[in-house]
Amino acid sequence: MTAGGHGFDGVERRGLMFVLSSPSGAGKTTLSRLLIERMPGLKMSVSATTRPMRPGEVDGRDYLFVGKPQFESMAARDELLEWATVFDNRYGTPRLPVEGADGTHFIDSADVRSVRADAHYTKVHDGTRERMCPWSISEAEAQLDPGLFVRVHRSHIVAIPHVSFVRKEGDGAVIELDGPSPHRVPVSRAKIAEVKARLGLARRHA
């Protein structure tokens, strides 16, 4: 869990991390959700795991549920900030590199709203601002979880869980991503059907 804010000296900090630790079933998830409801700016870091999904859990909200081969591939490609094995299941924190004035930082992929190619550069939007990413958009697409992210245009990738609305515009469509600073992303005509299906908007035939 992380929260932004200002330090005692008035200097803005990038975030403060809180770690909740307890035995399984002690109420970490319940406590986390209550804190998020009551503390604006507090966000949950969503971990990737190889364990089976439990009743009531939602992929992308509670965990990123992946198979062991995919998890091992993520670890081998250095896509995880850290990972560990617990009772034969693996858990890890996905990351995405972004460039800052003082060097390269890594952000939780759960915070990513969109990725876009801008000439020779790639930019990542976390719902608040855009930052430069050293990967190409194709590299970013290969690294991000395909169950949560989709390429909607040759120059744009979006996080499906963060889509707040979609509408037709010209020959294509436009998507708005949520966050403190909502932003819009174009959808190419060839991708409209896939986007609608991923959002559960595809027409059902009798």
Which domains does the chain possess? 2-94 (3.30.63.10), 99-198 (2.40.50.1020)
Q: What digits encode the pLDDT tens for the residues 35-56?
A: 878 886 666 667 889 999 999 8
**pTM for this prediction:** 0.60
Higher pLDDT, 79 or 10: 79
The proportion of the chain whose per-residue pLDDT surpasses 90, expressed as a percent, equals: 39
Burial grade of 77 (CB within 10 A; 0-12, 13-18, 19 or more): exposed
Taking alpha carbons only, the member of 69, 128, 134 closest to residue 95 is 134
Under the banding of pLDDT at 50, 70 and 90, the label for residue 187 is very high
> Which tokens go with 198?
């991923």
The reported pLDDT for the residue numbered 44 is 67
**Does residue 10 register a pLDDT over 50?**
no
**Does residue 32 register a pLDDT over 70?**
yes
Under the banding of pLDDT at 50, 70 and 90, the label for residue 184 is very high
